[in-house]
Chain A
Amino acid sequence: MGIKFSLLAVLALVLVAFLGVEAIGMNYLFGVLVPYLAFFLFLTGFIYRILKWARAPVPFRIPTTSGQQKSFSWVKQNKLDNPSTKLATVGRMALEVLLFRSLFKNTKMEFRQGPKISYQWEKWLWLAGLAFHYSFFIIVVRHLRFFMEPVPGFVHLTESLDGFLQLGLPGLYITDLLFLAAVTYLFIRRVVIPQMRYISLPADYFPLFLLFGLGVTGVLMRYFTKVDIVKVKELAMGLATLHPTVPEGIGVLFFIHLFLVSTLMAYFPFSKLMHLGGVFLSPTRNLPNDSRIRRHINPWNYPVKVHTYEEYEDDFREKMIEAGLPVEKE
């Protein structure tokens, strides 16, 4: 159900861009207005979501601790899994963001031969996740060649490393294969594992199909039915210098690609893809475990009216003495 809906949604997007450009000729709408609007939504929506999250107070330390915490000097602390200083927390965060360390610890539980429980390493999700995110990142960096003039050196460097196989013309990019393979794996995983399928929603399938569509249209454009790259760059530079132009004769495939990107950008802040920003705000990762080192005061503490024991004794001293109770002041 979720699969069909998401697939139809992405196909509808492709169709909208195709008909909009090919049949009605709304090139300016799909080439300039929609991308600008989508980019605006992306930036403002992203900032709005982050500020909204940042308004939730996190008064106490709640990091996930998966190692020995700081203790006596002769007990060895696991600094990365249970950091107690800012620096170690930054280190833990960097490993999380760059290497997906917590996903690496993923295990799988299975019943084997009757009621025997076994836990297994499960590294495929980590591997595919890493492959997906890094190829996505490299593809985006390479795409900067459309948006920057002169093209900076690091873009050239990425291009030549990514294309070092020098296979065919235009040269094959390894990340293109990796990207499509990883997205396919992430999709198949959701469908094949019954528990995964049970918890998967359209919000999980839709981004996968969208990204797959994006990859397929990009690969088609580069290796199969070509589009005019020089005109694409004219359009992209027009967008980047705020003097938008839409040259004639780019090829409809490009507009489909661009429309899918626009959808992705507009959808991003309202979806689970916000984990891009969210990972940095996640309190189980970004807090040092110094609960027993520093005193953490609840920020919304208000002055509470208290009645101390001394005051109590002042109120009832005579009666207490009468009843033979001990008092502190005579």
Chain B
Amino acid sequence: MKIYDARYVLIGLAIFVGLFTIPFWYNMGRAVPPPDPKLDTPVIQQMAVKQCVLPLAEIRTGHMQLLNDWRTWVVRDGLRTYVAADGKTYNMSLQNTCMDCHSNKTQFCDQCHIYAGLEAGTVPYCWTCHIAPKENQ
């Protein structure tokens, strides 16, 4: 059977298919390895038990929530000491605690964030005020 106004209909359908298959042709022939955050900082290498503030699964998915709580507790409530579930205490600070152990921001934090689609440098926007650790490239 005849397709009326075939020119317009087919152009429209081509645009539709093109738009909805963007991920397929955009990534064509590209191998995308998952990020590999490096833990080989001097501080972490000296640790006997290599452990973060929270257990691995929790810190992986929930570190931004922890940072949010730390920020509230410090800035709003004036508390500075965090007692972890295993009884260890930490000074609640982005620069002096997280980045002391993870002093390799570009090899660690940024690895994941760029992969997850947070814009490098601007998001998280924390580093417009907080000072990122110096790294020797």
| A contact set with B: CB distance below 8 Å | 42-43, 46-47, 50-51, 54-58, 144-152, 155-156, 159-160, 163, 166, 168-170, 226-231, 233-234, 236-237, 239-242, 249, 251, 277, 280-281, 299
A169-B12 Cα distance, complex, nearest whole Å? 41
| B contact set with A: CB distance below 8 Å | 1-6, 9, 12-13, 16-17, 20-24, 26-28, 30-32, 34-35, 57, 60-62, 64-65, 67-68, 71, 112, 114-119, 122-125
Q: A51-B9, A230-B34, A230-B116 are in contact. Are A56 and B4 (CB under 8 A)?
A: yes
In chain A, what residue has the closest Cβ to B65? A169
Q: Give, as a whole number of angstroms, the nearest-CB distance from B132 to chain A.
A: 17
Cβ-Cβ contact count across A and B, 8 Å cutoff: 111
Contact present for A230 and B35 (CB under 8 Å): yes
8 contacts between A and B (CB under 8 A): A42-B20, A51-B13, A151-B117, A169-B68, A230-B34, A230-B112, A230-B115, A233-B115
A239-B27 Cα distance, complex, nearest whole Å? 11
In chain A, what residue has the closest Cβ to B34? A234
Contact present for A47 and B65 (CB under 8 Å): no
Contact present for B26 and A148 (CB under 8 Å): yes
Q: Give, as a whole number of angstroms, the nearest-CB distance from A157 to chain B.
A: 9
Partner of B1, one of A55, A149, A152: A55
Q: Give, as a whole number of angstroms, the nearest-CB distance from A261 to chain B.
A: 13
Give the chain A neighbours of B3 by CB distance below 8 A. Answer: 51, 54-55
Known: A54-B6, A237-B32. 4 other contacts (CB 8 A): A152-B26, A168-B68, A226-B61, A241-B32
Give the chain A neighbours of B116 by CB distance below 8 A. Answer: 145, 229-230, 233
Give the chain B neighbours of A144 by CB distance below 8 A. Answer: 22-23
In chain A, what residue has the closest Cβ to B119? A156
Give the chain B neighbours of A277 by CB distance below 8 A. Answer: 12, 16
